[in-house]
Structure 1
Amino acid sequence: MIRNAVEQDLSEILTIYNDAILNTTAVYHYDEKTIEERKSWFAGKMANQEPVLVYEELGKVFGFATYGTFRPWPAFKYAIEHSIYVSSTGKGKGIGSQLLKELIDIASERGIKTMVAGIDTSNPASIALHEKFGFTHSGTIQNAGYKFGRWLDLAFYQLDFPGPKNPVEG
């Protein structure tokens, strides 16, 4: 089941996120995050009315997804960048697809124009997932990061929506 996250989910969200930090190139961080950092992150998401979704089954969180502002300048207010993380035990079960579909529905309903995904090019499963939902490749920044003793290339994919009926500046 997909639902809005609550503060009690943050421990499981943290476990999933820290696993991604330590064992994948899905996150370009080196060090694990703390529960205090996740609480601050969550409070910021709630203050900005940005969704934080969890996929829960039998009382356990197997994945989470969110989005936030693509860039912090006013003209980017109709563009968002999203993140999806699935636990190692939840991979291959369609959880990422369900979370992405829900994020797409929310973004579309809220009048977002463009949803962006930054994906490490060594993650073909994530690229395939996004292409399945209609995301198109927008460009790749070569050597954007360095982790696990190698240079990492970051591909950007985007999905466009109709956007707001009456977009405004400012």
Structure 2
Amino acid sequence: MTGPAPLLATAGPCIRPAGERDLDSIRDILNAEIRSGTASWAETLRTADDMTAWLAAREAGGFPVIVAEADGRVAGYASFGPFRTGEGYRFTVEHSVYVAHWARRRGVARLLMERLIAEARLRGLRRMVGGVSADQTASLALHRAVGFEEQGRLGGVGVKFGRPLDLVLMVRPLDAPG
């Protein structure tokens, strides 16, 4: 039995800032997860207008939106934004990373996470938070692998597909070496 084929025979995916031209692909990746997965607890599919507004809000807030591109297609995307409102949270952000089904288990999420961590450090941020569904074992493992630690578990706070879900709060220090 063989594993997934590499994304590119000669090089890894290109990580670059997202733009309006990427919004259809980003929407498709997110909507696939909304339809069939628990990485997003949303139940309403996103429209083109929703995604345009989302990107505009991220840009207006000075927050990055990046994509991984492989073979001329968007393989995944990531961003971070405010963790919570209030000045006391200004050095903490919450991130999201989504990868297209065809590109999973090939290192795309890790590349996106590493770039987000670097961006956050450049901005002088101190903590990055990930809210991960407890049933997402691969995501939990990835977060641990890039320096996040579990700092809270909220039992049954979400529901999707008619079943309760637990939320795991993963936190990555940004002001420490590594």
Q: Same fold (TM over 0.5)?
A: yes
Distance 1:97 1:154 in 2: 21
* CA shift for structure 1 position 16: 0.2
Note if contact 2:117-2:174 (Cα within 8 Å) is conserved in structure 1: no
Per the normalisation by structure 2, the TM-score is 0.90
Distance 1:33 1:73 in 2: 28
Q: Secondary structure at the match of 1:15?
A: helix
Question: Which residue of structure 2 aligns with residue 45 of structure 1?
Answer: 58
Question: Which residue of structure 2 aligns with residue 101 of structure 1?
Answer: 114
Q: Secondary structure at the match of 1:137?
A: strand
Task: Work out whether 1:116 is the aligned partner of 2:129.
Answer: yes
Mark the runs of 5 or more structure 2 residues left unpaired by the alignment.
1-13
Percent identity between the two aligned chains:
36
Note if contact 2:126-2:174 (Cα within 8 Å) is conserved in structure 1: yes
Question: Which residue of structure 1 aligns with residue 96 of structure 2?
Answer: 83
Cα deviation 1:41-87 (Å, max 9, x = unaligned): 00000111100000001211010000000002111110000000000
Task: Work out whether 1:139 is the aligned partner of 2:152.
Answer: yes
Q: Secondary structure at the match of 1:146?
A: strand
The AA in structure 1 aligned to 2:55 is F
1:67 equivalent among 71, 80, 90: 80
Runs of 4+ that moved beyond 2 A? none
Q: Secondary structure at the match of 1:89?
A: helix
Distance 1:162 1:100 in 2: 16
Note if contact 2:64-2:80 (Cα within 8 Å) is conserved in structure 1: yes
Distance 1:161 1:146 in 2: 31
Question: Which residue of structure 1 aligns with residue 48 of structure 2?
Answer: 35
Distance 1:149 1:115 in 2: 30
The AA in structure 2 aligned to 1:6 is G
Q: CA RMSD in A?
A: 0.9
Per the normalisation by structure 1, the TM-score is 0.94
Distance 1:47 1:31 in 2: 24
Mark the runs of 5 or more structure 1 residues left unpaired by the alignment.
164-170
* CA shift for structure 1 position 134: 1.1
143-152 or 154-163: which moved more? 154-163
Cα deviation 1:73-103 (Å, max 9, x = unaligned): 1111100000000000010110000000000
Question: Which residue of structure 1 aligns with residue 143 of structure 2?
Answer: 130
* CA shift for structure 1 position 8: 0.6
Question: Which residue of structure 2 aligns with residue 166 of structure 1?
Answer: none
Distance 2:147 2:104 in 1: 21
